Structure 1
Amino acid sequence: MANLISLERVSLVFGTSHVLDDVSLGVLTGDRIGVVGVNGGGKSTLLRVMAGLQEADSGRITKQGGADGIRIGMLSQEDALDPEWTIREAVLGDLPEHVWAGDPRIRDVLTGLLGGIGAENVGGLDSRVGPKSGGERRRLALARLLVSDPELLLLDEPTNHLDVEGVAWLADHLATKRPRPGNATVAITHDRWFLDAYATLTWEVESGKVSAFEGGYAAYVLAKAERDRMAGVIADRRSNLMRKELAWLRRGAPARTSKPKFRIDAANALIADEPDPRNSVELASFASRRLGKDVLDLEDVTVSVGEPPHERRLLDHVTWRLAPGERIGIVGVNGAGKSTLLRALTGEIPLAGGRRKIGKTVAIAHLTQEVRELERFEQWRVIEAIEDVKQWTTLGDKEISASQLATRLGFPGGRQQSRVGDLSGGERRRLQLTRLLLTEPNVLILDEPTNDLDIETLTSLEDVLDGWAGTLVVVSHDRYLLERVADKQLALLGDGKVRELPGGVEEYLRLRAADIASQTARIASASASTSAPTSSGGAGGSGGAVASTTTASPAEVREARKVMARVEKQLSRLQDREERLHGDMAEKATDPAALADLNAKLQAVVTEREELELEWLEAAEVVG
């Protein structure tokens, strides 16, 4: 494996802070690296230095092939798209249509990232970038990079603005579609499921240093525990959150602990006496005493947006009853009505039909995706904004101060004296959550609580939620969080219904894949019918028009249309086979021999699909 880029003793100082301190590292071809660390720790700066966008104070940076060698592409947090561009110009540049339409990798990017923006038709591709939302523009920027396919791909929080399905697609694309000789990817991420599914190596940026760990998140956690054991400091860290995280990983899917290649016996010994992360029975009992029998019920509820004839039902005659102590995770496609469902629960929006019933002792706290409620505290110190709510609270069976709760949620003593106006986005989110918990609700409703939070803070948040007694409803694209804090998952698929997911997020992804396959088949069927000969064909009507614009005879055109129809059916069957193979590969992730056999079958399917697509394009040229 060749070295695409290397940093030798690189240092960078901002003010008095060593953002990078004598850092030496390299990226090899085939590497898929995840970068983790606290907010403000230097992760984005590291990528900017690698991309040549930030000059280091000292050290040497060497790229394969010199200054004119490998191509480096970076997805930054800033929006760099020209608002006057069309989607076609922003994503595909000047690529001819027959080039990108015939490239399965590019089509996969368009489908995976732009399905909701307009990649499915020419009119959508010709719409302007300017009116798009911030999330849509970010997905456009990511699609642009993936289409260009540079040798070294640097991604700064690529999962932002992606739903659960989008995160799963991106992990699969980077792990199976992009890798080839000469390529590597480095991605900053706080999404732990994505890190496990994508990364072959994890870099931790901390105090100006970069430490490398083999594997994804599970391997990273276990390796850190092993390092602590070797350093002889385990006895002093028995209460550290790392042990609870290890306990969770050990009790999770077997693949999590089978991935690391280093010895894990010592790490397992650390958690032998660690209790379950959450005692559901005990919490439910406590919640029942606080809440009574009735919590929140939605009975035959309908919620609509827009006016006729463009009215759209987000919730269509939904009946849902929340029980005391229930812990629910909600997933769904963007725009399906997840936030609307939460606002219907809290009574913040009017109902077009049905009724909402609430228990007499219910106290609701709702964490929205907005942080504007903190604007009035801009000049306050953090601890003042927290104590404005309450100075003491009860967490689990212990009484703790507001300052102690703030410390657990990422505001150590010194940071509690900072002005609210000086906080980063992630810190504002933490402050918002801290104030919310201090109100001592017995029904906690969280809308995307992981936005802008780093992994360390996420772990602290999950620890707090583990000890919190009450009814919990969480909407999140963070698959790891959903599995960790929720006992049951629900899905909104865009049809106005709320569906239970006994199989969790995996079942949701299967349902979405089936739905997309069904839509694709309908589009293919409509395309075949519209391209078929009209009336008697041949000599008159549109048949004459076709003959006048091509050199093919009417008989050749009819034969070409038959070829197109046949190929479309074969492509539909191949798509089903490919989806089954991807599912089998996910199930056999820990069996190298089985994976090799499945990968060979997958490559055969890809080759056959490319040949069929070429045959379709040739027939389409005859039809005109």
Structure 2
Amino acid sequence: MAHLLGADRVTLTLGTRTLLDEVSLGIDDGVLLGVVGPNGAGKSTLLRVLAGLQEVDSGRVTRAGGVRVAVLEQRDDLASGTVLDAVHGGIDEHEWATHAGIRSIHAGLLADVDLAADVSTLSGGQRRRVALAALLVRDDEVLVLDEPTNHLDVEGVAWLAAHLVERYARGSGALVVVTHDRWFLDAVCTRTWEVHDGVVDQYDGGYAAYVLARAERARTAATTEEKRQNLLRKELAWLRRGAPARTSKPKFRIDAANALIADEPPPRDQLALTRMATARLGKDVLDVEDVTLAYPAHDGTGTRVLLDDVTWRLGPGDRVGLVGVNGAGKTSLMGLLAGRVQPTSGRVKRGKTVQVAELRQDVEDLDELADLRVVEVVEREKRSVVVGGKELTASQLVERLGFARDRARTPVRDLSGGERRRLQLLRLLVGEPNVLLLDEPTNDLDTDTLAALEDLLDGWPGTLVVVSHDRYLLERVCDRQLALLGDGVIRDLPGGVEQYLDLRRAAVAASAAPAATTPAPVAADVPTTPTASPADVRAARKEIGRIERRLSKIAELEAKVHARMAEQATDHEAVLALDAELRTLAAEKDDLEGQWLDAAEIVG
């Protein structure tokens, strides 16, 4: 494969930190490369170096002659003008509209964007998608993308992954992408680089292969270190055998011991998200009862209904993931559960023992604490907590969360986005809540922090609701997925995120179908399906709510039966009786899912 880009013994120091220390690497034709690593390790800097946007202290960056490199940075620098100008640079429409690939990019990223609008009027998410579209419509050999999935929903991430895989299926060109979206890394990338401590470790495969290889390297390193420590102990014991004999010891033995001591590897940053005590939950947690939530429409005409007469019950230990189209009301629903938002009608009933903690999308709630140091922010919540029977001070706690001692004394205003996100999490946890509401918790977090967060949530004994476009997180920590499709209804997703994507594809295909100007003739012997009346739709929505509550109850009953089977595994008759119960529940579940599909067809 032809060489496209590379670095030869590149060193770069910014301030007091050496981000790249004599790094050598190369990118060949056909490579789809994912870049991971801790926040602040230098991933974005590495991309800028390879793209020729960042000077290095020593070494050189290599590029094959004539290779064009396109870069998407984290900050979008769109010039003023219309969306159409930003994407196509003033090229006449007939020059690009005939290309199927470009039309696909418009459909995947700009379907809800007015092409004639000025970019200054767009939201942050829309600007991001416009910048990404402007890059993808070009025909550069190398694409360098820094966090391209930021501001994309689940549907957008799936589209981008499919587009890039198809784009590079012919094996020409190369992709370099920094992202914390692990599903995306697995779906797209064929190689992985990990940036840390001034070096770049290289792995074959996507995220799953990287995790396996990294675990194997860690095991090998641990074995090597154990042997080294055993040898070190022998050398030091020999050197300490009495002062009188020390002068006669062979110099080579002393030199060997000194070499072992000098060979002590630097420790990697340690990160541990610790589960503190959780307040006990009663039988009732959060009940959304006949809730309607409506806001004035953006254009000033009428109202926009986000939730329409919705009933939804959250029980103790429920673990729910929420997905949905942008603007469908996911964040508003989280506000209802947290008590920040009041319904237009209906009510949200809260259990007596419920203690809710909410992680919101933005990190602006820390702005009022900008002058405080990290440890002082935690001390304002609690000066100490008990973890695993041991009392930890605030400073010990922030160190566990990856804030080294110098960072623990850093003012909040000087923290990176990832550090601010970690501090938000820590403030939530020290309050010992029993209900966690997490709105896009993966924003700004690196893959190691995400793994630690998922490990924490795996053992979370309370109730959990997560809004996220990160499929990896949703599928790992949630037992059930729900969807908001913009029609005012909360839908259950027995098939998970993949079912949501199927529903969205069907909805987009239906809306794209050309409307006939005159009714098509219908054969006399072919029955037509009457349009459901508003009363039928409302009744169907009620039925969907009833079915989903029963399906949730069945899931609880099945879990209890499985637990009883494990307890009575040696009692053959009891196991047979419990197995019969499971079959009965499974049959009811199948019947209910059929009823749910029938009702969903009426709702549309």
Q: TM-score, normalised by structure 1?
A: 0.72
Residue pairs, 1:555-570, within 5 angstroms: none
The equivalent of 1:543 in structure 2 is none
Q: Distance in 1 between matches of 2:183 and 2:92?
A: 36
The equivalent of 1:81 in structure 2 is 78
The equivalent of 1:298 in structure 2 is 288
Residue pairs, 1:173-184, within 5 angstroms: 173-184=163-174
Q: Distance in 1 between matches of 2:438 and 2:224?
A: 34
Contact 1:344 1:351 in 2 (8 A): yes
Q: Relative to structure 1, is the Cα distance of residues 140 and 234 closer, same or farther in structure 2, using a 3 angstrom cutoff? A: farther
Q: Relative to structure 1, is the Cα distance of residues 402 and 502 closer, same or farther in structure 2, using a 3 angstrom cutoff? A: farther
Q: Distance in 2 between matches of 1:439 and 1:234?
A: 42
Paired letter, 2:329: G
The equivalent of 1:42 in structure 2 is 42
Tell me the secondary structure at the aligned position of residue 48 of structure 2.
helix
The equivalent of 2:221 in structure 1 is 231
The equivalent of 1:93 in structure 2 is 89
Q: Distance in 1 between matches of 2:388 and 2:466?
A: 19
Q: Distance in 1 between matches of 2:417 and 2:424?
A: 11
Q: Distance in 2 between matches of 1:405 and 1:506?
A: 38
CA deviations 1:298-327 (Å, max 9, x no partner) are 011000011673311011111100000111
Q: Are 2:37 and 1:31 aligned?
A: no
**Offset at 1:212?**
0.8
Q: Relative to structure 1, is the Cα distance of residues 136 and 230 closer, same or farther in structure 2, using a 3 angstrom cutoff? A: same
The equivalent of 1:540 in structure 2 is none
Q: Distance in 1 between matches of 2:451 and 2:404?
A: 16
The equivalent of 2:313 in structure 1 is 321
The equivalent of 1:545 in structure 2 is none
The equivalent of 1:154 in structure 2 is 144
Tell me the secondary structure at the aligned position of residue 336 of structure 1.
coil
Tell me the secondary structure at the aligned position of residue 180 of structure 1.
coil
Higher-Rg structure is 2
Contact 2:30 2:168 in 1 (8 A): no
Paired letter, 2:436: L
Q: How many residues are paired up?
A: 468
The equivalent of 1:64 in structure 2 is 64
CA deviations 1:521-567 (Å, max 9, x no partner) are 1xx235xx49x9xxxxxxxxxxxxxxxxxxxxxxxxxxxxxxxxxxx
Tell me the secondary structure at the aligned position of residue 140 of structure 2.
coil
CA deviations 1:437-493 (Å, max 9, x no partner) are 111111111111111111111112122222332111111111111112111111111
Q: What are the ranges of 5 or more consecutive residues in structure 2 without an aligned counterpart?
A: 227-274, 521-604
- Aligned with residue 487 of structure 1, among 445, 456, 479: 479
Q: Distance in 2 between matches of 1:5 and 1:394?
A: 52
The equivalent of 2:456 in structure 1 is 464
Q: Relative to structure 1, is the Cα distance of residues 405 and 496 closer, same or farther in structure 2, using a 3 angstrom cutoff? A: farther
CA deviations 1:575-620 (Å, max 9, x no partner) are xxxxxxxxxxxxxxxxxxxxxxxxxxxxxxxxxxxxxxxxxxxxxx
**Offset at 1:358?**
0.7
**Offset at 1:25?**
0.9
Q: Distance in 1 between matches of 2:14 and 2:135?
A: 29
Residue pairs, 1:407-426, within 5 angstroms: 407-426=399-418
**Offset at 1:230?**
2.4
Q: Are 2:498 and 1:498 aligned?
A: no
Q: Distance in 1 between matches of 2:474 and 2:393?
A: 28
Contact 1:393 1:440 in 2 (8 A): no
Paired letter, 1:30: G
CA deviations 1:219-253 (Å, max 9, x no partner) are 001001111222344998xxxxxxxxxxxxxxxxx
Q: Distance in 1 between matches of 2:371 and 2:223?
A: 41
Q: Relative to structure 1, is the Cα distance of residues 74 and 359 closer, same or farther in structure 2, using a 3 angstrom cutoff? A: same
The equivalent of 1:332 in structure 2 is 324
Paired letter, 2:496: G
Q: Distance in 1 between matches of 2:122 and 2:320?
A: 32
Contact 2:157 2:184 in 1 (8 A): yes
- Aligned with residue 466 of structure 2, among 474, 491, 499: 474
The equivalent of 1:596 in structure 2 is none
Q: Distance in 1 between matches of 2:211 and 2:482?
A: 29
Contact 2:128 2:151 in 1 (8 A): yes
The equivalent of 2:130 in structure 1 is 140
Tell me the secondary structure at the aligned position of residue 90 of structure 1.
helix
The equivalent of 1:191 in structure 2 is 181
**Offset at 1:188?**
0.3
Contact 1:330 1:491 in 2 (8 A): yes
Q: Distance in 2 between matches of 1:61 and 1:207?
A: 20
Residue pairs, 1:245-256, within 5 angstroms: none
Greater mean deviation of Cα atoms: 478-487 or 374-383: 374-383
CA deviations 1:132-175 (Å, max 9, x no partner) are 01221111101000001311100000000001111111111111
Q: Relative to structure 1, is the Cα distance of residues 71 and 235 closer, same or farther in structure 2, using a 3 angstrom cutoff? A: closer
The equivalent of 2:118 in structure 1 is 128
Paired letter, 1:482: L
Contact 2:321 2:466 in 1 (8 A): yes
Q: Distance in 2 between matches of 1:297 and 1:395?
A: 31
Q: Relative to structure 1, is the Cα distance of residues 397 and 330 closer, same or farther in structure 2, using a 3 angstrom cutoff? A: farther
CA deviations 1:279-301 (Å, max 9, x no partner) are xxxx9xx98x8111100000110
Q: Are 2:215 and 1:219 aligned?
A: no
Q: Relative to structure 1, is the Cα distance of residues 178 and 109 closer, same or farther in structure 2, using a 3 angstrom cutoff? A: farther
- Aligned with residue 507 of structure 1, among 485, 499, 502: 499
Tell me the secondary structure at the aligned position of residue 491 of structure 1.
strand
**Offset at 1:406?**
2.5
Q: Relative to structure 1, is the Cα distance of residues 400 and 321 closer, same or farther in structure 2, using a 3 angstrom cutoff? A: farther
Q: Are 2:170 and 1:170 aligned?
A: no
Contact 1:112 1:169 in 2 (8 A): yes
Q: Relative to structure 1, is the Cα distance of residues 406 and 487 closer, same or farther in structure 2, using a 3 angstrom cutoff? A: farther
**Offset at 1:207?**
1.1
- Aligned with residue 101 of structure 2, among 98, 105, 128: 105
Q: Relative to structure 1, is the Cα distance of residues 234 and 510 closer, same or farther in structure 2, using a 3 angstrom cutoff? A: farther
Paired letter, 1:2: A
**Offset at 1:179?**
4.0
Paired letter, 1:161: H
The equivalent of 1:116 in structure 2 is 112
Contact 1:446 1:473 in 2 (8 A): yes
Q: Distance in 1 between matches of 2:320 and 2:396?
A: 27
- Aligned with residue 364 of structure 1, among 350, 356, 364: 356
Q: What are the ranges of 5 or more consecutive residues in structure 1 without an aligned counterpart?
A: 118-123, 237-282, 533-624
**Offset at 1:180?**
3.3
Q: Distance in 1 between matches of 2:163 and 2:109?
A: 11
**Offset at 1:11?**
1.2
Structure 1 stretches of 4+ with a deviation exceeding 4 A read 394-401
**Offset at 1:339?**
0.2
**Offset at 1:397?**
7.4
Paired letter, 1:520: A
**Offset at 1:377?**
2.1
Tell me the secondary structure at the aligned position of residue 414 of structure 1.
helix
The equivalent of 2:547 in structure 1 is none
**Offset at 1:400?**
4.7
Q: Distance in 1 between matches of 2:388 and 2:351?
A: 22
Paired letter, 2:28: L
